[in-house]
A and B are shown apart, each in its own frame.
Chain A
Amino acid sequence: MHYYKRRSLLLLITNLFIVISGYTQELYPSSEPASNMSSKSIGVRLGTQLSQGVNNTNLLRINPELMWGINKKWMLHIDEFMGNVYQNQFDIEQFSIYTKYRFLSIDDVHSHFRMAMFGRVTTGYNSMMSDTMTLNYMSGYTSGIVITQLVHKVAVSGTLSYYENWNSTGASVNYIASAGYLLFPRHYSKYKQLNINLYFELLGKKMMTNKNNFVDIAPAVQFIINSVARIDFVYQTKISKSSARNYNSLALLKLEYNFLNAY
């Protein structure tokens, strides 16, 4: 019964998003769309994640990220994680390389459909399989596929990926559903206009080892400044019953700046 109630609620939320979205954005704060960044562009990102550990300790995670649009189909991210989420003292946790290849792009005047595949390799001090909902950010490798569909300015995105840690002791299937809504401006007139976007993302993970299923929701508000800078505020919290989590919810601040045609 609970399962059906939860499912109906999710369907309702998804439908609401589709109905109310006049304009939609696909610059998702908690996932990547199938679209790529502009060729020869460089982006820098800084993520600051705050959460409360299960034993009431404050957990902090800092994540600087460098992004590079190699060409119209390929992009590459290199990032580093520092924090005290997986150890008692604040220290470097891991490094990661992410690459995405857009292999299908069908554009029409009022719609587009894009598909991309991606891979992430993460290495560092933490190779334990954590059930915490930090999708794709654990030590190991992830490969997956992302599909983004835009019809009459309603954009939805779905991500499916498989993660395995280095010593093959843990694996999971990750899935993300994302939707975004442009709150302001109602009409675009210039690049300097402040854009305010609302996002709703559903992040899920099915553990292959113990078959546990974890589902989080991640609503977010995003500000776009001068059409090159981004500020994202994300609140991520669990909606599925689970044990063995490092934390139940987190607040995330992401700052991003893009250098278009940087070289």
Chain B
Amino acid sequence: MKRKNISLIISCLILGIMALAAIFCKQICPYDPNAQDLTSSFIPPFSQGHILGTDNLGRDILCRIIYGARISLFVGIVGTVIGFAVGVALGIVSGYFGGIIDTVIMRVGDIQLAFPFTLLAIAIIAVLGAGVKNIIIVAVITGWIKYARVVRSDVLAVKKMEYIQACKSLGLSHLRIMKHIFPNVIPAAIITATLETGRIILMESTLSFLGMGVPTNVPAWGSMLSAGRTYIMTQPWLCIFPGIAICLVILSVNMIGDWLRVFFDPKAE
């Protein structure tokens, strides 16, 4: 248990520092992340005032990673929140009303799960075009069903409970009854949300890596990796550091998710 807490604290610290750095990036970065200076390209890490070195265009890698955190965290958080709202709402409606509504919602979800999600994401981006807004749309489209499924099964169990029957006999409206059901589905939905945040951040960097993410003038971890790929033989630091940033964030989010799972359901471990 103790070891668990230490990894939880470290994870929260990492995410906290990243979030603060992302918010105050303008104040803490000594360099403009997009300022090109070909005379100082490929400076190795820990030299000439560039802690993580510079890339092929002489841009400071640490600053670009900090600015990249803004995109990753923003997409991760907003994508998770919207997906949560949509998925939980549809899950409650699906489980509460049952019948044809339930069938339609769940079958649409089935169809969606039949696509390998990376492929679905890329197909949607191919149609909508790149950009932060579209990445969030993709995150919601590929994510809502995960909440809807766990929430629905919770609702099916809660629906049979006496207090819900009591609500019904009191003649409460459907909306009011669903409000009473809502607190019961929160734990499962929150656990799903932490898993989703990691997935969405990974998806954003994947799309950026493939050149289908944010515009090229915005620093993002995925696009830094794909740009650095060309120089892996000679200047590997271009690839190493953005990847570490992605790993740290996803690792931290997953750790917190693991902890939450045990917190809400101690038997799970």
Tell whether A and B belong to one assembly.
Answer: no
Residues of A participating in the B interface, judged by any CB pair closer than 8 Å: none
Residues of B participating in the A interface, judged by any CB pair closer than 8 Å: none
